[in-house]
Amino acid sequence: MFRLLNTKTVPLTPEVAMQFRDMPASPTERELDPQRVKHLREKADAGQLVSFYWSVARLNGKLLRMNGQHSSKMLCDLDGSFPAGLTAHIDEYEVDNDEGLALLFRQFDDRKSGRTPADVSGAYQMLHEPLREVARPAAKKAIEGLNWYRRWVEGVPAGSGDDQYVLFKETGIHSFVRWMGEILHSKTKELQQSPAIVAAMYGTFIAAEVEARKFWHDVERGGVEYEEDAPATVLDQWLKATYEDKNGKKIKAGNFYQGCVFAWNAFRDNKSIVRVKFDAGKGFHKIV
C-alpha cells in the first residue's frame, strides 16, 4: 500500500525547515503537542540535536508531510539560533489510498519507539472528515467498545491492538462515534472505565437509536431528576460507585456489560429498579 520513491539527504537550513513546516500535512499526523516542541527546543538549546529523519508521501499526486511536524516547527521558532552542520534525511513514498497513509504512519516510531495506541487511533480517525471534530480520546474509546461488542457479544472476528482502529472506515458507525464525542468527556469517567460499558452503549444504539440517546444522556447527567428508582439513575449511581471504590472488588468487563443492559432493558420495559443486577455467569442479557 506504500512504496519508497526516493530518498535524499540535504543540508538543514531555515528554508528547508520552513518548507517542511508549511507543507500540507497528512490527515494521519499526530496532533501538535506543545510539550514535544518544548522538549526539542531544550535539546536545541543544550546543543544536543542530531540530523532529522523526515518523510513525505504522494497521494493522488499531492505531496503530504508524514512526520517532522514538531521538529520543523521548533527549528522555525529558534529566532536566529539555527543549528549549524546538521542535515535532514527525507524519504518520499507513494501511497495507494488513505489507508496506505495510516499504514505508513504506523511504520515511523512504532509502539516501542513511541507511537501509542492513541496516536494510531487518531491516525485512522483523521482519515474521515465527519470524525475530525470528535475528541480523539472519545473516538478511540468508541472503537474499542464497538470492537468488544463484536468480539464478545456477536462472536464475530474482531481486530486486536492497533488493527481495531481500522473500523473507523465503516461509515455506518460514524454517527455512533460522533455521539460518543458528546457522552465520553472529562465529567463522565465512570462511563469510560471499561470498553464493555461503551459496548453496551453501542448495542443499545443499534437496537433503538432514539431511545438510546435519551437513556444514556440521562445516565450522563446523573439520572432522572426526582426519580431515584429510574433505571438511568440507578445505573449512574452503580457506575460511579464502582469507579470511586478503589478498595472494592474489581468488576469484570462482562459484568459491566451485563449491568448496563439490565438497566437498559428495565428502561425499555418502563420498569423501576432498586439495584443493578450484573452477574454474567449464565450469559449476557439480550438487548431489547
**pLDDT single digits (tens) 148-181:** 999 999 999 998 999 999 999 999 999 999 999 9
Contact in structure between 51 and 89 (CB atoms under 8 Å): yes
Indicate if the alpha-carbon torsion angle 234, 241, 155, 280 is positive or negative. Answer: negative
Is pLDDT above 70 for 238?
yes
What pLDDT score was predicted for residue 111?
Answer: 57
The model's pTM: 0.80
131-140, 201-210, 237-246, 265-274: which range is least confident on average? 237-246
Residue type, 253: A
C-alpha cell of 146? 464497538
Q: Please, which pLDDT band fits residue 246 given cuts at 50, 70 and 90?
A: low
Q: Which long-range contacts (CB under 8 A, 24 or more apart) does 33-40 make?
A: 33/70, 36/70, 37/70, 37/73, 37/74, 37/77, 40/70, 40/71, 40/74
Render pLDDT for 261-281 as a digit per residue (tens, 0 to 9). 999 999 999 999 999 999 999
* pLDDT tens-digit map of 37-58: 999 999 999 999 999 999 999 9
Q: Which CATH number fits domain 2-115: 3.90.1530, 1.20.120, 2.60.40, 3.10.20?
A: 3.90.1530
Residue percentage of the chain with pLDDT more than 70: 97
User: Residue ranges of the domains in the chain?
Assistant: 2-115, 136-268
Report the chain's C-alpha Rg in angstroms: 23
* Torsion sign, CA atoms 153, 159, 161, 166: negative
The two beta strands, 62-65 and 52-59, are antiparallel
Averaged over 97-125, what is the pLDDT?
Answer: 86
Distances (CA, A) of 19 to 15, 25, 27, 108: 6, 12, 18, 21
